Amino acid sequence: MLKNNLSWSESILHSFTYDSLSNIYQYILDRKKVYKAKASFSSRFSISLHLPKELRASKGLSNGDKCNSKFNIHKKKVYLDFTVNGTYDIYPTGKIVLPYALVEKGLMKAKDDSMLFCENGRITVKSFSVMQ
């Protein structure tokens, strides 16, 4: 079922722990669309995350929209809340530049893929390296 609902390679799925796979399976059963995004090292003090086009279209996000970020260190998740007066901008390519403190806290890696899904009106980000 995971292979049919995700367009991820089989090697990525084999690298996840059983708990991570069961969480992804539960998201799919709850009819949450799960996406993959690339995080990259933007500069010395920031990390950029590219939101997939499908996710931006489903959430109605466009160039110039703003978001705030929150995180949960215990669950290793980053939450993106989209508000009018947010701190971080969405660029035309879907890129969001986030603070490097997320890497320092172990929530994301500078050059890694991340899982994204919509939950409670916000986007939840979880790094693949945390799920392995």
Section 111-127 average pLDDT: 89
Q: Say how many domains are in the chain.
A: 1
Diameter over CA atoms, the chain: 40
- The answer on pLDDT for 1 being more than 80 is no
Q: Is residue 125 part of a domain?
A: yes
Q: Is residue 96 part of a domain?
A: yes
Contacts with 34 (C-beta within 8 Å, 6 or more apart), sequence order? 5, 6, 24, 27, 28, 115, 116, 117
Q: Is residue 114 part of a domain?
A: yes
Instruction: Give me the pLDDT at residue 129, please.
Output: 86
Evaluate whether 36 touches 115 at the Cβ level (below 8 Å).
yes
pLDDT digits (tens, 9 = 90+) for 17-42: 889 888 889 988 888 889 999 888 87
Q: Is residue 66 part of a domain?
A: yes
Count how many Cα atoms sit within 13 Å of the Cα of residue 75 in the half-sphere of its side chain: 10
pLDDT-derived band at 84, boundaries 50, 70, 90: confident
Instruction: Give me the pLDDT at residue 91, please.
Output: 92
Q: Domain span at residue 50? A: 34-131
pLDDT-derived band at 74, boundaries 50, 70, 90: very high
Q: Is residue 81 part of a domain?
A: yes
